[in-house]
A and B are shown apart, each in its own frame.
Chain A
């Protein structure tokens, strides 16, 4: 009887030491807390509003070829884009117009012969209020110029705040990256 309770007590005390070891091991092992605002780890599969993909040569330019496929396919009609018209005849006009609008343009213009110029994207506005997040625009884009952003901080007081000018957003992000 005494031996039994004694051995029980000793094994109990041993279990206390084992418990202390468990907490000590956990004390030393790395933390699993994510320091949320400073460290975000779970946005890989997140589908936010769409954004423009920067082109490979110039991060301030979009890959968009202004084909308007996205505008046509959007069930909520929330995308509106404007593009400069491809000019057919007057070659000197071409070189003039881009130089006033953009500095990086002339190179691509030189390559393109006067008969077939690419339309230049001038604005790409998304009215996120009407977006149903179907993703058809992303799927239909022939040049891969659209993707889902990981922008989770979408809250505002007015509807106007959710009308995004995606082209200027792209340029702003590119500037920020350079800095």
Chain B
């Protein structure tokens, strides 16, 4: 252990919900997108699922809202170190979209892509089973553009770069295809509890 002379750190608070290496951001919700925030109106938003599926499908804003509403209440974790407790997002479970397109058995991964061109790669298993959403509401209000509105992917059990803002679609694949940050040295899966920040963690 390399102890830093004179460093004591903040008072030790036992926070069972805080993954290793993270700190509680409190009321802050930092914005960290690397791209220009797009001016994307709900009327111009679409969400498509294609690739290794029985039938590809594109939903517009109204069609997506016709699916059963589903909310996430819990915590989110950013790879830069902050975690935010007790947030509430609402939208539609990704399972509802996948049930319509019916993934092939060969599908193991997905690339999420944004209306800006941003991409993130994820194992398909992390997007199913009630653990991922298309979210358009935060704290019972429309999701602000700088946080990914009108709609973003939400995969709260992984570091938040996986939760692609301004979500445009998912392409299902039979292999991992690194996305924007994964190509820049970030971890393929990004599980905060195993501190999978960078390639090799």
Are the chains A and B members of one assembly?
A: no
The interface of chain A, by Cβ under 8 A from chain B, is none
